[in-house]
Amino acid sequence: MSLECSIVAFNSGMSLAMRAIMNLRAALPVLVPKAVQWAETHSRLILGSGRPLSEQESQVARAVGVTSPELIRVLDVSKLPMPEDPILYQAAVATGMLGPNMVGLTLGHGIYICHGHCTLRLISHELRHVYQYEQAGSITAFLGVYLEQIVTSGYQNAPLEIDARNHEAR
């Protein structure tokens, strides 16, 4: 069965949600390397073009556990980039990781924030993801764990997302 088929394959004995989870889980060995390549490319772009953290943002970064706030860059964009690879695109949208309502995305020490959405709450959430990347040691290591959590628990219930929400400044 091709990867495209494994993402959309149906088994009449299961709910649609369960089929989607099982199909995405089966596709992880192919999706993770694609996601890592995409994330590393965009991380380099942000690090090359983004702005450093303000003093207040650096304080927030330290407060949420970031060890190297000086390495972080933030790039203000009109909308978050979407993967061009059709399989990766489908998976990102299906899991809720990327889409029209998303306004922030962290890739290593690089953070995309959509115009007009750079609030203390959002930046603290994204900075906690930077901390998580630092703890994992690399984009590859982080995404392997993160994507498994998203597929297993859903975006809202993934432990790394819950942790980031718990560290949002209010």
| pLDDT, tens digit (0-9, with 9 covering 90-100), for 62-119 | 999 999 999 999 999 999 999 999 889 988 988 888 988 899 999 999 999 999 999 9
DSSP character string of 6-50: HHH---TTS-HHHHHHHHHHHHHHHHHHHHHHHHHHHHHHHHHHP
Asked whether residue 23 is domain-assigned, the answer is no
* 9 is a domain residue: no
Beta pairing partners, 76: 113
Instruction: Specify the number of domains making up the chain.
Output: 1
Confidence of residue 6 (pLDDT cuts 50, 70, 90): very low
pLDDT band of residue 24 (cuts 50, 70, 90) is: confident
Mean pLDDT of 11-34: 67
Burial of 28 (0-12, 13-18, 19+ CB in 10 A): middle
> Whole domain around residue 133: which residue ranges?
30-166
Question: What strands, in cross-sheet order, belong to the sheet with 104-107?
Answer: 51-52, 73-77, 110-114, 104-107
Q: Per the domain annotation, does 49 fall within a domain?
A: yes
Q: Does any domain span residue 36?
A: yes
Task: Tell me the average pLDDT across 22-47.
Answer: 92
Could you tell me the two tokens for 125?
A: 């959430």
Q: Is residue 82 part of a domain?
A: yes
- pLDDT band with cut points at 50, 70 and 90 for residue 170: confident
Q: Is the model more confident about 30 or about 160?
A: 160
- Predicted confidence at residue 22, as pLDDT, reads 52
Please give the model's pTM, rounded to 2 decimal places. 0.86
Q: Does some domain include residue 18?
A: no
Burial environment of residue 77 by CB neighbours within 10 A (0 to 12, 13 to 18, 19 or more): middle
Say if 134 falls within a structural domain: yes
User: What per-residue confidence (pLDDT) applies to 51?
Assistant: 99
With respect to residue 66, please indicate whether it lies within any of the assigned structural domains: yes
